[in-house]
Structure 1
């Protein structure tokens, strides 16, 4: 029987963040991280499928354009996109809650950008932004916790990247999954 393991990780202080080293592409000016300030269901769906296609991300595939737009226009939701020489390389999506908690709801790189140090850099950038969300909305308290979850279907370095950035595991769940048809 196959099993899916999910790790939930958190930081409870900005001092927990252990930033990754900047890749050479940042110094060269070819790698930039830009906030997608105009909510665009098409952009977020593209990023979600481009990053998650090989990782079996499926929960948002059924979302209508209206559902994407409703999520993206909520106060506290931000999408940050990494571009390498103008080409989308990855993204991090932040979902700030009213209680001072920020979830990194999605994060990852497109397959062609793996192995260049972009993942640690983008996660560091996004996590720093999550800690800096206080004051953006009048009702929002200062960030007191940033959390994320990853699972055994995500990339082989995902859990290690989160831990290297200072995230600590606070919960682990394992559940049986259907056998993969290709392994039968």
Structure 2
């Protein structure tokens, strides 16, 4: 079995003032970011696989439709989608946790939209939404005190730098060896 050494960085912000927003893409991009307010397992699984297949996201591949639905219907779970001219370009998923903590559980762009400045804008927007999450879930949430996430060496080559440029600080690093299994193909071989 082939193995891969993977480094995982845990990052955080502890104040809304930590956020350093990216410059919005130019007007020619017609980019908008909107919350997916209807819990749709099919749409969320599409985003997860379309963004993550080439960077080896696999932990949610075994999830059933019911498990997706259950996760998406939890209070303080939100999916924010970047759209360019009616096409989904990427997404950011928030999960409100105990004591004013919000995790950015997933964030990424579809391959065709990478390298165009969209990621910094989407991360800025999504992080701001993590800081004001309690305003949308007033019965379930205390004000956000901490926003955190993790990224790893399997993610895109600019992921860690993007998080740090947005004001996230590393609070933990872990290196481990993983077995490399065969990932499902997004597209059949030709």
TM-score by length of 1: 0.93
Give the alignment's Cα RMSD to 1 decimal: 1.4
Does the C-alpha gap of structure 1 residues 47 and 179 become closer, same or farther in structure 2, counting only changes over 3 Å? closer
Runs of 4+ residues over 4 Å off in structure 1: none
Does the C-alpha gap of structure 1 residues 179 and 75 become closer, same or farther in structure 2, counting only changes over 3 Å? closer
Does the C-alpha gap of structure 1 residues 82 and 175 become closer, same or farther in structure 2, counting only changes over 3 Å? same
Matched, 1:145 2:146: yes
CA displacement at 1:137 relative to structure 2: 2.9
Corresponding position of 2:86: 86
CA displacement at 1:108 relative to structure 2: 0.3
Q: Distance in 2 between the 1:90 and 1:139 partners?
A: 27
Corresponding position of 1:101: 101
CA displacement at 1:72 relative to structure 2: 0.2
The answer for unaligned runs of 5 or more in structure 1 is: none
For the residue of structure 1 that corresponds to 2:130, the secondary structure is helix
Task: Tell me the matched-pair count.
Answer: 179
Deviations along 1:36-65, one digit per CA (max 9) or x if unpaired, are 000000000000000001000000000000
Deviations along 1:105-144, one digit per CA (max 9) or x if unpaired, are 0000000001110000000000000001123231311000
The answer for unaligned runs of 5 or more in structure 2 is: 183-190
For the residue of structure 1 that corresponds to 2:47, the secondary structure is helix
Corresponding position of 1:9: 11
TM-score by length of 2: 0.90
Work out whether residues 134 and 140 of structure 2, in 8 Å CA contact, stay in contact via their aligned partners in 1: no
Deviations along 1:71-95, one digit per CA (max 9) or x if unpaired, are 0000000001101000000000000
